[in-house]
Structures are given as C-alpha cells and as structure tokens.
C-alpha cells in the first residue's frame, strides 16, 4: 500500500465509534464480514477504491480524510447554512439599494429625452420649457407626498381625457404648442414610476414582463390581422393604416395568447390566478394600449413627422417605442390595486 494503513484504520475506527456502530453493524452496512472490518481497523489490510467510496458516503467524510487524514468533511450545519443564505440575501438587498439611485437617474433621463422629443415636435423646445417639464418629471420620480400613487393615477386619467378631446378636435388644430403636449409630457414620468411600482409587487418582475409582452402581442396581432383582412378604417384622419379588424385581431390575440402564458406560469410557479379578472384586464389593456398608440400618432400627424426622433436607429425615438406602454403600465397599477389580481 502507498498510504499508512494503520493510521487510516484508526480513523475508520474513530468514525465508526462516533456513529455508535459496532464492527458487526459496520460489516452489515458494508456487506462484508466482521473479520474484514477488524483487519482494516488494525491496519493489517488496506481498502480498495470501492470500499473507500462506500465508507466515505456512510460516514460523510472525504476519501482524502480516510486515506491521508486531511480535508475532513462534515455535513453543513443547517443553522449555519441558513445564516449564510440570509447573509447573501442581505448583500443582494444592499446591492439593490445601491443600484436604486442609478435606476432613478436612468428613469429621469429617459423621461427628459421623451420630453425633449415632444418639445421639438411642437417647435417649442426652449430651455425654460425643458427645465420646467424636467423639474416636473424629477418631482414625479421622487415619491414623497402622501397618497402619491393616487395623485399620479388621477393625473393619468386627466391625461387620457385631454388626449381624447385633442383627437376629437384634430381637424380644427392647425399646430400644437406647449399646452397640447403637457398631458403627454406628464405621462412619461408616470409611466416610468408605474413600471417601478409594479416591480415592487411580490410577482412584480413577472407582471412587468406580462404587461410588456401583452402590449407587444396586441400590436403584432393588430398589424398582421389588419394586413390580412382589414377593410374598415379605425381612425383614418389619425392613422390611416389602422383598421377595426386589426384592432379586434390584436385584442383577441392578446387575450388568448397572454391567457395561455398566464396559465402556464401559474402551473409552473404554483401561483393562483384570478382568471376572470386577468382576462378582463387583457381586454381593457388592449383598448388602452391602442388608444396610447393613436394618441402619439395624433401628435405626429398634426406636426407632420413620421418619428419623434432617431435616438433608436430603425425604431424612432423614446416615444415611438413606448407609445402603447405609456397608458398600459399605469392602468396595470390601477387595475392591480383595485382587483388584486397581480398581487
């Protein structure tokens, strides 16, 4: 043998006694004779690899410890393991807290970029207008006032009413100015605030992905169904390419596909779903998302531009990417708090 069989046998004997085994007990577990165990413990016989593996698994130690007396292994203490996990969770929470200022800065920057796009479209991009709306966006992102969420969502409702009036009188509007774009400028920080608010929910990340994917499915479904069978114009003066059939196709696509995704998620994760409230949300969110798309199209049609900017090559500007989400995300917050279907 190439190791000290006597020392190895003594370690095996110590482990046997610590486990309250007799040589007979150990022999029974190992499926060998008592005499074989006695020879190993006395150092008169070495262990084969198979025997070492069996002893290692039985006593919870490494083969190195059995052969060389080093690298002893003991099963992890459950209390210590739990403490380590809690410490890791604490570190992750601390990292998230340190990341919050950066995320807040990104949220404000995106809001300001969208505001600048609006002001440039309205040809009123002066420094004091940018400063005023930027301060409003920063204030929205601060979350300091009591009933903060309720105030923002009330502003969201007013913005929808303002856009609805604007679209209904589009033929009479020859140009737009600061007051025309103010509702949309307020929508930007409210949208980013809503996304952060959703993220705080127990299933926040899944809900945020669900809301985003729902808007995307709605847009894609409306496009393909409209191309295939669309004949009746939905809003010819605002967006001639959109049809009633396309809007209904997007709505049906969103309800069916996102309903199936929600069902699969519920089964995989074990979360109970309120399917009635969920399907109603998908129906309403589809309408609101298409309204947001039309609202942004109204501004672009009035000022005669195709995209708000070229910040995102091939996709336009910030507002071109978030048009339907501007209204859908705050609605998800309102609906989730009212029905509890996302909480």
Note whether 45 and 167 are same-domain residues: no
What is the mean pLDDT of the segment spanning 158-162? 76
Whole-number average pLDDT of the chain: 78
Would the pLDDT of 53 be above 80?
yes
- 310 is a domain residue: yes
Structure tokens at 232: 């009746």
Res 78: pLDDT: 62
Domain region containing 49? 5-68
What pLDDT band is residue 149 in, cutting at 50, 70 and 90?
low
Tell me what the mean pLDDT of segment 115-142 comes to: 71
Find the helix or strand (DSSP H, E) in which 243 lies. strand 239-243
Report the domain count for the chain. Answer: 2
52 and 141 fall within a common domain: no
Residue 143 has pLDDT above 80, yes or no: no
How far apart are alpha carbons 164 and 148 in whole angstroms?
25
Q: Based on the domain organization, do 36 and 101 belong to the same domain?
A: no
**Residue 137 pLDDT:** 65
Q: Are residues 170 and 309 in the same domain?
A: yes
> 299 lies in a domain?
yes
Q: How far apart are CA 47 and CA 288, in angstroms?
A: 74
* pLDDT-derived band at 77, boundaries 50, 70, 90: low
Kind and range of the H or E run holding 100:
helix 78-121
Does position 145 have pLDDT exceeding 60, yes or no? no
Residue 76 within a domain: no
The pLDDT score that the predictor gives to residue 32 is 80
Give the E-state strand segments of 88-149 in sequence order.
none
Question: Does residue 224 form part of some domain?
Answer: yes
Give the tens place of pLDDT for each residue, 305-338: 777 777 766 667 777 777 778 788 888 888 888 8
**87 found inside a domain:** no
Kindly report the CATH number assigned to the domain that includes residue 25. 1.10.260.40
Tokens 């609805």, residue?
164
Shared domain for 190 and 331, answered yes or no, is: yes
73 within a domain of the structure (yes/no): no
Q: Indicate whether 20 and 103 sit together in one domain.
A: no
Same domain as 241, residue 112: yes
- Domain boundary residue, one of 23, 51, 68: 68
Q: Are residues 276 and 333 in the same domain?
A: yes
Q: Which of 235-239, 249-253, 254-258 has the lowest mean pLDDT?
A: 235-239
Instruction: Kindly report, residue by residue over 219-231, the tens digit of the pLDDT.
Output: 888 889 888 888 8
- Return the bridge partners of 316, or none: 312
Name the nearest CA neighbour of 155 among 293, 337, 343, 334.
334
């Amino acid at each position: 043998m190439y190791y000290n069989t006597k020392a190895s046998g003594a370690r095996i004997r110590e482990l046997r006694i610590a486990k309250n085994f007799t040589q007979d007990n150990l022999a029974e577990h190992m499926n060998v004779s008592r005499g074989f165990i006695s020879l190993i413990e006395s150092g008169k016989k070495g262990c084969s690899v198979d025997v070492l593996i069996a002893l290692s698994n039985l006593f919870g130690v490494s083969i190195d410890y059995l052969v060389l007396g080093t690298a002893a292994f003991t099963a992890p203490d459950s209390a210590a393991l739990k403490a380590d996990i809690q410490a890791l969770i604490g570190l992750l929470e601390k990292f998230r807290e340190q990341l919050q200022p950066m995320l807040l800065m990104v949220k404000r920057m995106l809001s300001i970029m969208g505001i600048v796009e609006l002001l440039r479209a309205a040809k009123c991009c002066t420094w004091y207008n940018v400063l005023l709306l930027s301060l409003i966006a920063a204030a929205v992102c601060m979350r300091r006032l009591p009933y903060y969420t309720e105030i923002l969502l009330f502003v969201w409702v007013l913005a929808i009413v303002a856009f609805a009036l604007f679209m209904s009188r589009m033929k009479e509007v020859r140009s737009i100015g600061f007051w025309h774009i103010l509702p949309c400028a307020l929508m930007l920080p409210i949208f980013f605030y809503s996304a952060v608010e959703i993220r705080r929910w127990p299933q926040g990340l899944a809900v945020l992905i669900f809301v985003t994917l729902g808007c995307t499915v709605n847009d894609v479904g409306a496009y393909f169904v409209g191309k295939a069978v669309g004949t009746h114009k939905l809003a010819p003066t605002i967006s001639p390419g959109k049809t009633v059939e396309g809007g209904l196709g997007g709505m049906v696509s969103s309800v069916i596909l996102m309903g199936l995704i929600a069902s699969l998620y519920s089964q995989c994760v074990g979360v109970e779903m309120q399917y009635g409230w969920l399907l109603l949300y998908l129906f309403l969110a589809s309408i609101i998302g298409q309204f947001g798309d039309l609202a942004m199209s109204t501004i672009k049609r009035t000022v005669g531009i195709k995209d708000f900017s070229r910040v995102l090559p091939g996709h336009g500007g910030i507002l071109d990417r978030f048009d339907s989400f501007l209204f859908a995300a705050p609605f998800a917050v309102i609906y989730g708090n009212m029905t509890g279907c996302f909480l």
